[in-house]
Structure 1
Amino acid sequence: MLKRISVTAAAAALVVGLTGAAGASVQYQPTARHVSAAPADNLTPGAYHRALDPLVGTWKAVKYNYILGSGGEPIVSRDITVKMRWISKTGGRFLEEKTEGTLGGNRYYRVGILGFSNIDRRYEWTTFDSVTPTAMTYRGAPVAGTSSVLSIPGTFTDPGVLGPDYLGKTIAMRTVITIARDGRHSFDLYFTPPGQSERLVDRVIYTRRVG
C-alpha cells in the first residue's frame, strides 16, 4: 500500500492545478496598462509580466488529485500553502512559487518558476518537487495579447506514475493557469497518454489569501 502511494504520488506531484471542481472563478481582466506589446529591447519586463501580478502573495489552497483518487473521484488536500513572489535579484523577470502541505498523507513540497520570454513571446513554467525525479518543463505558444487564462504545454518521461504500460514513454502534458479578479486563482494539470484523450490529473484552487 505504501509503495502504491509513493509511486502514484509522483503523478500528483506533477501539479499545478485549477478551475472548475469547486466552482467557477471570475476571471481576471488585465487593465489598460497590461495590454501593450512586449518592450522592443526584448530584455525589460513588460505587460505580460505585469499580467501575473495578481498571483503574488501567500495563499491557502485546495488540491484535487485524480491519480491518487479512485472511481473518478480525487483525493483532496486542504492544508496547502502557496507563496508566490517576484524574484528581485532577476530584476523581477521571474515569479517564484513555493508550495507546501501534504499529498496522499505524505509531506509535499514544490518550487516553480514562471516567466515570460519577450523574444519568444511565450510563457514558460518549470517545477521541481519532493516526489517526482524530473523537472516538469512547459513552454507556451507565442501569444498576441494578454489573457487571464494561460495554457502552457510540455512533455515528460513517465517514471511510472501512470502504470507499467507507460514507464519510460513520453507523455504530453499541459498546465492551465486561470487568473481571477476575485482572487480565486487556479492551476489545472492535464496529461495525454499515448493513444488516449487528454485528462485532468491535478487541480489546485487558491481559496483564501492569508498575507
Structure 2
Amino acid sequence: MAVPFLLASQSPARLATLRSAGVEPRVEVSGVDEDAILAAARASASAAGAVLPLRDQPYLLARAKADDVVARHDPDAIVLGCDSMLEFDGDILGKPHSPGVARERWRAMRGQTGILHSGHALIDNRRDRRGPTGAATIAGDTSSTVVHFADLSDAEIDAYVATGEPLKVAGAFTVDGLGGPYVTAIEGDYHGVVGVSLPLLRVLLRTLGVDFHELRG
C-alpha cells in the first residue's frame, strides 16, 4: 500500500508531474494570502536589519500552504506544499495576473536569463509517525534552475500573452506548455521549472524515512 500523500497545490502542472512519476496524490488547495505572508516576512527581516533572501521567499509560501492544509484538514498523510518564483534582474516575480504586466515582463526577459526558484515543504502528518509531543516532522528546501529566454519579437510576446497562459504562472512562462518554444535552455532541474522537483522531493522524503517508490500505489 502506498504511503498516503497529499499535494497542497492547485497547479495542474505539479499534479501531472507527480502522476508521470507514478504518484497519485490527494489534492487539497490551500487558502493562504501569499502577498500578506511575504509582506510580513519582509517587514520582520527589515526590523532585524536584514533582507529576506530571494531564494527563501518561495519556500516560505510553500511552507505556509502546507501548514494551512494541515491546520484545516489534519490529514493522516505526508503533505507537500510548493511555490515557484522567478528571480530576474534582482527582483523576485510571481504570477503577473494581468496582460499588461505579463507583456512588460516578457519585453524585459527576452534574450536574457533568470533563475526559477521552486520552494518545497514536506510535513509528515501521519499519526503513527508523530513524536512524543505529537508534533509533525518537517523537511524543506528550494530547487533553483537557470532559465534562458529566447529573444522574442513584440508580435510573439503579444501572441503568447493573448493565450492567457503567462498570466497564471510564476515568471509569466512555462517550459512544459505554450511557453516551451520561448525557453532556449535551462541549467538545472527541468521538473523544478515545471513546479515540483522530483529529485529534490526524493531527497526530502528520505529525510522522513520514506523512499520515493513508496508513494506509488
Structure showing greater relative contact order (alpha-carbon pairs closer than 8 Å, 6 or more residues apart): 1
Whether these two folds match at TM > 0.5 is: no
Q: Shorter chain as normaliser: what TM range?
A: 0.3 to 0.5
TM-score, normalised via structure 2 length: 0.34
Q: Tell me which protein shows more strand as a share of its residues.
A: 1
Which structure: greater helix fraction? Answer: 2
TM-score (norm 1): 0.34
